[in-house]
Structure formats: structure tokens, C-alpha cells
Amino acid sequence: MTYQNYLALVRECKNYKSAEDILAEYGYPADCEWTADGLIKAFDIIFAVSEADISKLVELSGGNLSALCRKFNIPLRSAQNWVRGERKAPDYVIELIGYALMSECEKE
């Protein structure tokens, strides 16, 4: 999936209450590159990005904030502030983290 298509899906998800809602409406694409579980995780990631939910992205990456920070070279203190809601992560950072995590989803 190209980055532009990914961003279009992020914008589309803002019109839905959950990742399950958008999957229920669109269904499993015939030309999908992911397994069913991979697709569900990909949409969970896209939906978390659309909500700017950094805590959910940490959870979807394995639940370890320190590991996520090391992986993406993000200062731990900044990420801690984002998770606690003391500061807001820049949108582009959330989008890039989500896109990178999506690339790790299980493919067929």
C-alpha cells in the first residue's frame, strides 16, 4: 500500500466509530496483501492513527513504550508525555509510526 493510499484510509476512518465498523462496511478486499488477521491489525493501526491514539499504537506494537522509542529513535521522555496526554505528538510522527507498524502486519 502506498503512503498516499494509507493517508486516504486514515482520513476515511475518521468517519467511523471503530475499525470493525469500516471493515464491516467494506469487507475483505479480493486483492488484499494481508491475511485476515493482518488486515484486522492493519485497520486497528489505521484507526488508531486516525484518532491520534499513541497509546493504542504502543499497544499494537507490542505494548512496550521503550522498545517503540528505540525502534523509531524517539526520545522516551517525549513519548511518555504523549502517552500521558501532557503533550501532543505531531500528526506526521503518528502517521509515520502507523505506516511502519502496518508494514509489519502478517502478509499472505
pLDDT for 55-106, tens place per residue? 999 999 999 999 999 999 999 999 999 999 999 999 999 999 999 998 888 7
pTM here is 0.86
- What one-character DSSP code corresponds to residue 34? B
**Per-residue pLDDT at 103:** 86
In a domain, 83, yes or no: yes
In a domain, 107, yes or no: no
Question: Do 102 and 3 touch, CB atoms closer than 8 A?
Answer: no
Q: Which residues, listed in sequence order, are joined to residue 34 by a DSSP beta bridge?
A: 107
**Per-residue pLDDT at 71:** 94
In a domain, 91, yes or no: yes
In a domain, 67, yes or no: yes
